[in-house]
Amino acid sequence: MQNIEWPFLAAEALDAEALTFRELRRFYEGLYPRVWVPRGVQLSAAERARAAWLWSRREGALAGLSASAMLGAKWINGDTPAELIHPNRRPPPLLITHADTLLVGETQRISGMFVTTPARTAFDVGRRLGLKVGVQRIDALMNATDVKVEDVEAVITNHPGVRGLRQLRQTLSLVDGGAESPYESLTRLLLVQAGFPRPETQIVVVNEYGVVVARIDLGWRKYLVGVDFDGKQHWDDPRQRERDVDRYFDLPQLGWNDIRVTASMVHNRPRVFLDRVGAALIARGCPKTW
């Protein structure tokens, strides 16, 4: 049996004598009709996307979160259903098809597959997903591709009256490609929806010698108030813990009040977090708008 690149179309592999039917049944399993992968393999979102494209007989265009994954956006689980723009309205489980119109310039080739461009991908994601998830997903896409809101607005201009534009515009008003994790997006969204001034993201802080001492997730440079999300890496990575110790000392010395927030606080005690940020901003002279 040859070393087969997967996912693959079983008929093509058998015709090429890359494996026998017995080997196919023993070592591989069907993911989508005609499309096979090694048994028990943990798929990435990009691998699932390629499987979906093969299922479409190489005719579909990867879209939505599948396109986001192919474009390099993070935080997309391999169990997330693949998405295609394709006329087949009866896709198998864990595969979603959309009968959308694609205009010239709204797709590109990645690894031989048609994939919607970053702007078109954000257009589709923002009008199909709810506000919170849509902001998180477009933040990640913007972070990976540097696509801008104005690029998405250009796509909107070419598709007047399409379903979901109101949702998309609301989402675009809240996105920021500076977010480096879904929880950073969620934290920023929590602040903005509570009425706080819109924070800047990824604030670089330097000391009196011009040496970078910290990069704050988000905050207000004018008031020297920052917010940092404490993710898993802050507990599991010894080097990150060492850097955090230095930050805790350096930032107050430079006048910054850096407020830490965890996933538990965002979900279970958002009022406590908002009160802490509000008190810090007021103490630094920020007019209350929340």
pLDDT digits 0-9 by tens, 246-263: 778 899 999 999 999 999
Report, as an integer, the average pLDDT of 154-169.
96
Average pLDDT of the chain, as a whole number = 94
pLDDT at 142 over 90: yes
Residue 274 is predicted with a pLDDT of 97
Residue 251 is predicted with a pLDDT of 94
pLDDT at 204 over 60: yes
Residue 163 is predicted with a pLDDT of 95
Return phi, psi of residue 29, to 5°. Answer: -140, 155
pLDDT at 237 over 60: no
- What whole-number distance in Å separates Cα of residue 69 and Cα of residue 44? 9
Residue 73 is predicted with a pLDDT of 98
Neighbours of 245 (CB within 10 A): 10
Q: Sort 58 into a burial class: Cβ within 10 Å, 0-12 / 13-18 / 19+.
A: exposed
Residue 230 is predicted with a pLDDT of 86
Write the pLDDT tens digit of every residue in 269-281.
Answer: 999 999 999 999 9
Report, as an integer, the average pLDDT of 42-64.
98
Report, as an integer, the average pLDDT of 226-240.
67
What letter would DSSP give residue 202? E
Write the pLDDT tens digit of every residue in 16-30.
Answer: 999 999 999 999 999
pLDDT at 186 over 60: yes
- What whole-number distance in Å separates Cα of residue 59 and Cα of residue 33? 15
pLDDT at 234 over 50: no
pLDDT at 151 over 60: yes
Residue 182 is predicted with a pLDDT of 95
3-state secondary structure 44-83: CHHHHHHHHHHHCCCCCEECHHHHHHHCCCCCCCCCCCEE
Least confident of 51-65, 189-203, 225-239: 225-239
Report, as an integer, the average pLDDT of 285-290.
94
pLDDT tier at 235, thresholds 50, 70, 90:
very low
Share of the chain above pLDDT 70, in %: 94
Report, as an integer, the average pLDDT of 108-136.
98
Residue 97 is predicted with a pLDDT of 98
Closest CA to 61 of 72, 155, 38, 70: 70
Task: Write out the two tokens for 21.
Answer: 């039917």
- What whole-number distance in Å separates Cα of residue 171 and Cα of residue 125? 10
pLDDT at 179 over 50: yes
pLDDT tier at 284, thresholds 50, 70, 90:
very high
pLDDT at 8 over 80: yes
